[in-house]
Amino acid sequence: MIALELTGIFAFAVSGALTAIRRQFDVVGIVLLAGITALGGGVARDVLIGATPPAAFSHLGYFVTPVVAAAVTFFAHPAFERLNTAVLVFDAAGLGLFCVLGTIKALEYGLSPLPAAALGVLTGVGGGVLRDVIARDIPALVRPDAELYAVPAVAGTLIVAAFWELNIRTPWAFAGVVVMIFAVRVVALARGWRAPTARPFIL
């Protein structure tokens, strides 16, 4: 589980570092944006449920992983660019894992299902939103030209909350949701699936 979690942190950190490099941030900015992208969602969740200091500040691995990811990206980013698909796949794995783990943690803290699902989504997507706000991008989460991202996250966390309410709390059930979020995201990328937008204003 920890290995999976660190993989997700690594994938998110690489996406943050690549954004920072594209924006020509300096070396410190690269490390900071990698860390914020990787840890921001979980930190926000922990602050909201009152679990302070956040888990990210109490386990060294959470801290070291983004720094390593930033260093690797700093030197190897042209390869990562060519491996863009690999990064997106890692990121999709991180999304699935963080959404599910975040929802479970919020449920364990006694939140009711809908808020717990919302915090699961926050855990999964919060770091990427912070990354895009700092880099002055429209968050990929809400961009109309981006493939489905929040949709599988919202659906998956609602399923986790429903399982919890139905007392289906086995690792296999939750792992299934991780795989579902991951698969929907990857297929959406491959096929260019997008969510509908409102019909345009008649100006």
What stretch of H or E contains 90? helix 84-108
93: tokens are 């794995």
Task: Among 1, 3, 166, 198, indicate the residue that binds a copy of itself (CB under 8 A).
Answer: 198
Task: Among 4, 7, 48, 87, indicate the residue that binds a copy of itself (CB under 8 A).
Answer: 48
| Residue found under tokens 């981006």 | 146
- Single out the segment in contact with a copy of itself by CB under 8 A; choices: 19-27, 93-101, 166-174, 176-184: 19-27
Determine if 194 is a binding residue for a copy of itself (CB under 8 A).
yes
Given its phi and psi angles, is residue 193 left (phi above 0), alpha (psi -120 to 50 degrees) or beta? beta
Determine if 33 is a binding residue for a copy of itself (CB under 8 A).
yes
* Alpha-carbon distances of 138 from 109, 130, 143, rounded to whole Å: 32, 10, 7
Separation CA 121–CA 117 (nearest Å) = 6
What type of residue sits at position 132? Answer: D
- Single out the segment in contact with a copy of itself by CB under 8 A; choices: 6-14, 71-79, 156-164, 178-186: 71-79
Binding-site ranges for a copy of itself (CB under 8 A): 20-30, 32-33, 35, 43, 47-50, 52-54, 56-58, 60, 63-64, 73-74, 77-78, 81, 109, 111-112, 114-115, 118-119, 129, 133-136, 138-139, 141-144, 150-151, 154, 194-198, 200-202
